[in-house]
Amino acid sequence: MGQLDGLKTVVTGAGGGIGAAIAVAYAEAGAAVTVVDINGAAAEAVAETCRGHGAAADAIQADCGDLAAIDAMLEQAASAMGGIDVIVNNAGVTRHAFILDLTEADWDRMFRVNAKGVFFCMQGAAKRMKAQGSGRIINIASVAGRGYQSSSNAAYAGTKGAVLAMTYLAAHQLGRFNINVNAICPGVTYTEIVSNLLRDRAAERGVTIEQMKQEAEKSIPIRRGNDPEDVAAMAVFLASPGARNITGQGFNVDGGLINS
């Protein structure tokens, strides 16, 4: 038997990277999975991988910065699975930028998905969880929200700080309905987004990508960055029966990079 047998789960931004790893880990643990991504083909590919592990899996193309799209996605997922027991709010965007170079368009793009999107996915899922008497909400924040100095940019850090604050308050307000709300703060994690950030920083500084990677890992006590599966393992635990009394927490998965 799997840790998550019978659970009905939704993972946003799951067409690749951390979201894909979480969706597949949930499938391996016995959950039904709805894979959500703005790239429908990518979502379907991950859903197919989940089915390969014997899980019921559907793919939904949705823009998690659009309220109508969020509501339609949650309704479709709940209808297909017969409810939502767990939602992982992972969808997010960023870019490498110095604070003086950030634009209003950058700010609006990041807050639209990373903060507004997370809030309304959380709210919409919580309404359904309240009606069924239980649920788990897992928000993917970042060590950027804790002030990590090498974050991609200051506005992104602000969005992730917002995710942490919303997580804490939501946990207090939703606990009475048997809904747990927690956040995961990944550190350096080797995804396509991080690869692009390393490439941009390497070009800016005139060094190789491998040199940038080595520099990043020097500041990690355990001397290695995350694979997406490292973050997925925490997401499985937070959805499992063993985490039933854990709520209102932000967990760093960062090799010791941040100590707060």
pLDDT the model gives residue 203: 83
pTM score of the predicted model:
0.94
- Terminal C-alpha separation, the chain: 35
Cα separation, 209 vs 37, whole angstroms? 28
User: Could you say which DSSP state residue 62 is in?
Assistant: -
Q: Which helix (H) or strand (E) holds 39?
A: none
- The dihedral region occupied by 192, where left means phi > 0, alpha psi between -120 and 50, and beta the remainder, is alpha
- 144 touches 156 (CB < 8 A): yes
State the catalytic residue, choosing from 26, 148, 156, 168: 156
With both helix axes pointing from N to C terminus, report the angle between 17-28 and 40-52 in degrees, rounded to the nearest 10.
Answer: 30
Written as tens digits, the pLDDT of the chain (260 aa) is 699 999 999 999 999 999 999 999 999 999 999 999 999 999 999 999 999 999 999 999 999 999 999 999 999 999 999 999 999 999 999 999 999 999 999 999 999 999 999 999 999 999 999 999 999 999 999 999 999 998 999 999 999 999 999 999 999 999 999 999 999 999 999 887 777 777 877 788 888 878 877 877 888 999 998 999 999 999 999 999 999 999 999 999 999 999 87
Active site residue 156: yes
Spacing of C-alpha 6 from chain mean position: 22
Q: For residue 14, with 0-12 CB atoms within 10 Å meaning exposed, 13-18 middle and 19 or more buried, which class applies? A: buried
Sign of dihedral through CA atoms 227, 233, 235, 236?
positive
Sign of dihedral through CA atoms 182, 233, 38, 35?
negative
8-189+227-245 topology per CATH: Rossmann fold (3.40.50)
**What does the domain layout of the chain look like in residue ranges?**
8-189+227-245, 190-225
Tokens of 48: 């197919």
